[in-house]
Amino acid sequence: MSVERAAFITLHACPLAAPGQGKSGGMNVYVRQLAAALGEMGMKIDIFTREHLDVVNRVETIGPNVRVIHLKAGEPDAHLGDLYALLPDFLEQLNDFREEEGLEYDVVHSHYWLSAWVGRELSQAINVPHVVTFHTLSLIKMQSRAGEIEQTERPVVEAEVMATAGRIIAFSPHERDAMARLYGADARKVSLVPCGVDLEVFRPLNQKSVRSRLGLNGEKILLYVGRVEPIKGLDLLVETAAQMDSAEGVRMMVVGADVNGDREMDRVKQLAKERDMEDKIDFVGQVDHDDLALYYNAADVCVVPSYYESFGLVALESMACGTPVVATRVGGLSTIIQHGRTGYLKSWRCPEAFANSVEMIISSDGLQQSMGEAARKRAEGMGWDNVASLMWDEYSVLTEHPAKDDNKY
């Protein structure tokens, strides 16, 4: 059976929400771009998400063959922690919509544990395979940073869905191993399909002209891009600059908004003050996704100091723009970045080591350029069309050769 129509479930991450603020980030980008690329290739995709405060149209077509459908379940501004109780409502709304429109899907692909619960129920009800991408996993997250607290239901649902899904998508070998080790997942059901990057939007531009567009002078720029929250480890960026032999002529830019009021932003600002770095750091706030290429191109190095990153789209976007990355060796980052070739991976969140790597790059135009070229080359193999082809193959294998055991869905 060929795959013609897929249902994507992304209950809390609407692909229309602007990334880099609130809870909107890499997952929103991933769902939108993957669906768009599959849609361009001819697959019909319905993306089901929960109605939220910014909804304009309940059903919105966002590209060839791709629709976003907002379903009402609970109050539009319900807190993430309250969504678990709303899952049966969401499922009911989804089934009503499907029946009203007489829709039949060949595969269900769900994103994140909440949606995975819905995806499992839906796939079993309509008897089609269930593919799941967890994006982040609670047990890895809790191990990565003390203080991360997750809902008690989350690891239970994650383990249950891993046991029943037809296919689990992992972004890196690290994530696949953790699924087997921490959740007892059958590694044979786990496929490695990376995230992708839009190679047209994220491409090398003339650094001099983008800097003048952004009103920057000749300082060396260390860039951070992402939501501002503790797990992103922004303190390490400040400590890195403080540990450099000379922070003279260096500027840090932080692009992205705080997830929780200004709590983490204030903490980072306070640290910058204590390290005498407050004049060296600009908090730019959220930037439109399509304008980010200007910032990556203006930067000399992109720093990704996260405690945990299941993939780390920001690193790949930076590389696609030809800007080397210095990052912690966690999760998907160690798959994307080639240490010593496209940037540096640091095993420990150690400011001296980060500072040393950043200084190596910014003190040598030759190294910066050759790493930038290698980075772009590496990213070129990870365009969304390549990723979508891999994903289409995953769907096809499942629908054409369903497993013989009871766990096929």
Binding residues for ligand UDP (CB under 6 A): 19-20, 25-27, 29, 225-227, 255-256, 286-287, 289, 292, 311-314, 317
Q: Which is nearer to ligand UDP, 29 or 250 (CB)?
A: 29
Q: Which is nearer to ligand UDP, 116 or 225 (CB)?
A: 225
Q: Which is nearer to ligand UDP, 356 or 386 (CB)?
A: 386
Tell me if 272 sits within 8 A of 281, measured CB to CB: yes
Cα-Cα-Cα-Cα dihedral sign, residues 239, 210, 227, 120: negative
What minimum distance in Å lies between the beta carbon of 383 and ligand UDP?
A: 15
Q: Which is nearer to ligand UDP, 382 or 397 (CB)?
A: 382
Q: Which residue is nearest to ligand UDP (CB)?
A: 25
What minimum distance in Å lies between the beta carbon of 27 and ligand UDP?
A: 6
Q: Which is nearer to ligand UDP, 121 or 258 (CB)?
A: 258
What minimum distance in Å lies between the beta carbon of 309 and ligand UDP?
A: 7
Half-sphere CA count of 382, side-chain side, radius 13 A:
27
What minimum distance in Å lies between the beta carbon of 92 and ligand UDP?
A: 29
What minimum distance in Å lies between the beta carbon of 256 and ligand UDP?
A: 4
What minimum distance in Å lies between the beta carbon of 24 and ligand UDP?
A: 7
Q: Which is nearer to ligand UDP, 194 or 312 (CB)?
A: 312
What minimum distance in Å lies between the beta carbon of 163 and ligand UDP?
A: 26
What minimum distance in Å lies between the beta carbon of 106 and ligand UDP?
A: 28
Q: Which is nearer to ligand UDP, 141 or 220 (CB)?
A: 141
b/e 65-84 (16+ beta carbons within 10 angstroms → b): bbbbbbbebbeeebeeeebb
Q: Which is nearer to ligand UDP, 83 or 257 (CB)?
A: 257
What minimum distance in Å lies between the beta carbon of 93 and ligand UDP?
A: 26
Q: Which is nearer to ligand UDP, 91 or 116 (CB)?
A: 116
